[in-house]
Chains A and B, each alone.
Chain A
């Protein structure tokens, strides 16, 4: 193949130049990195396990309210919410009995039980309720890992939502979520990923999250994340037994119940976990007993993969530079031979 060295260098330089030029649309890369700041109008949920009586009204309301267009469980042509039989023989299908979060269940209340289970919110010989759902990370791993941008974070209220029409179904979000939240429609030939979307469709109409609206005890309250955090801190400062006005449905509500504070574990779950979440939790027993992992890093996870991605264009640059230089050196002799 007769192709002169000079011509070759031209071709490579041209290709490299085109590459760098095509890289210019990637210039706003720096901005592409996910924010680690709480959105200005961020809303969320404070779940206080010591107030929860396990009535599951939140679960029922969640299913009904999300089975409408725009809701996180909506499926075209389905009228009744997707009830789960929960492997119970007597269940005729109208009694919703999910055992875990699933493609049909975005929000679940579970029971912790130990020994004779006599006292609420006690680790030994006690019991406690707890609620699992998406915690709406400030820097969500699912948003950062999705190859097609099917997960998004609302720039205003910070709700992490899902666009099925983009999803390819690779389940990287399931792997990446440190809390194990996203669920898959395994039995569908055209599956979607399901998780709580903080009732984004209701928030657009000025409504609160359905679970908070349904909660009769104030265990689940909705509001601005900043205010929820302050509310949580106030509760942690209470002495056990001290009377406190617990707001119902929303933080700062005019409706409240008065009751003595439980003995809280000195931790607001979701302040630091994975760089902070918009849903936060309080509990009377340690969160690890409730199945919430304690080895979740206290920083935003997307930075781990960003450290790698930010080097990608440099690899092309160095390979083409070093490759061209090497090619010149290794093919010099041959050219001279060809000329002589």
Chain B
């Protein structure tokens, strides 16, 4: 290891040395110089170029968005999807710190960090998606409490800070700043409750954004309970994402979490998923009718895809005891749910409004730059997580 005191002076060097000490994760055997890391770094570099281009030349130059299609891939995937992927943190944090379910403590740090990157991804993307990125802070001081977007903006900032607070002990204990660590521990339970409230609101308010467009969003998705559907699907996604990430890190890093934990998460998917399925079917019957998705239209097909991949198939698989007992099969179920909920967000943001938008002559398919930025964002989150796994005590051993 390089001794940083030689380059950065005594004080800063010692801190850097402590931060860059990877002995905490030696047992995980994380290698940084891998082909995948190189691919991710190139993607991030490309995305940075795109971000610069977008800032200099405007959104019209970088994306295929237009007056009929004001929101596209960046909102649909990065923001709506990224936030949904981060839903696991508040549930795990709540389970550990409020319900006192200690068996989940071993995955708390990882799932909170995972959420932190999910939200960071959403925050960076929306900063680039708004046309006047430099004044994106306006809603924080120019309150407009009729606006769901104002609520979203406020929550995004507050929750990002909450996640940072919840994650900070990992860094503080490495630096050996005991007083700060004590301070964070003292407010931890309060912070967790704050995070739970913010998450419940934030997940649902992304759906509430669409309450104002009854005439634009297809009735397959539009109903007055859309915020609660967003919340329910985000919970399902949260369980799957935490389970996915736990099994994945168990595979690629030399580290293993008790199967009991993964089984508990699967039970979560089953409970929330069953509720969500009934909820979706209920709203379908109440709204456009049970047969509406089968009319052969693109919207109908996308609805069926989202529900089959993300809800029906996972629930059927989870009904089999052989699946529930097998790590790899549960891994597959997690992936299905993640894709299903991502489809749902893209459906609401893009496919659900397509009929209305194209009726006015608008056409949209994400531009190369939109894809690159989105891919770069994913790479950024994955690489960031990996770096944290290497340098921070992300997976405390279960006692």
Contact = CB atoms under 8 A, between A and B. Distances in A.
A180 B146 contact: no
B100 A305 contact: no
Contacts of B215: 178, 293, 295-297
B365 to A, nearest CB: 16
Interface in A305-331: 305-309, 312, 315-316, 319-320, 323-324, 326-327, 330-331
Contact of A149 (B57, B60, B142): B142
A304 B214 contact: yes
Contact of A301 (B58, B98, B187, B212): B212
A21 interface: no
A136 interface: no
Contacts of A226: none
B378 to A, nearest CB: 22
A237 interface: no
B329 interface: no
A305 B193 contact: no
A98 B328 CA distance: 58
Contact of B130 (A170, A304, A320, A331): A170
Contact of B99 (A3, A101, A146, A326): A326
B200 A315 contact: yes
Interface stretch (B41-49, B203-211, B263-271): B203-211
Query: In which size bucket is the chain A interface?
Result: 35 or more
A187 B58 contact: yes
A1 interface: yes
Contacts of B99: 326, 330
A164 to B, nearest CB: 9
A169 to B, nearest CB: 3
B360 A171 contact: no
A316 B197 CA distance: 6
B138 A148 contact: yes
A190 to B, nearest CB: 6
A8 interface: yes
A113 B187 CA distance: 69
A308 B211 contact: yes
Interface stretch (B67-75, B235-243, B285-293, B308-316): B67-75
A144 to B, nearest CB: 4
Contacts of A295: 215
A191 B129 CA distance: 12
Contacts of B187: 11
B304 interface: no
A167 B132 CA distance: 8
A143 B147 CA distance: 8
A15 to B, nearest CB: 5
Interface in B109-128: 126
B104 to A, nearest CB: 13
Contacts of A149: 142-144
Interface stretch (A26-34, A42-50, A77-85, A88-96): A26-34
A212 B131 CA distance: 33
B362 to A, nearest CB: 9
Contact of A186 (B65, B194, B201): B65
A29 B132 contact: no
B208 A305 contact: yes
B224 interface: yes
Contact of B58 (A148, A180, A186, A306): A186
Sort A-B residue pairs by CB-CB distance and give the 4 closest, nearest first.
A169-B131, A186-B60, A171-B70, A174-B70
Interface of A: 1, 3, 8, 11-12, 15, 26, 29, 32-34, 100-102, 141, 143-149, 166-172, 174-176, 178, 180, 183-191, 291, 293, 295-297, 301-302, 304-309, 312, 315-316, 319-320, 323-324, 326-327, 330-331, 334
19 contacts: A8-B189, A26-B145, A144-B212, A147-B138, A147-B153, A148-B150, A169-B59, A169-B132, A170-B131, A175-B216, A186-B65, A190-B131, A295-B215, A296-B215, A301-B212, A307-B211, A307-B224, A308-B148, A320-B197
Interface of B: 55-61, 65-68, 70-71, 94, 98-100, 126, 129-133, 135-136, 138-139, 142-153, 182, 185-187, 189-190, 192-194, 196-197, 200-201, 204-205, 208-209, 211-216, 224, 227, 353, 360-361
Given A168-B136, A172-B147, A309-B151, 12 more contacts: A144-B146, A147-B139, A168-B135, A175-B70, A178-B216, A187-B61, A189-B55, A304-B211, A308-B204, A308-B211, A315-B201, A319-B197
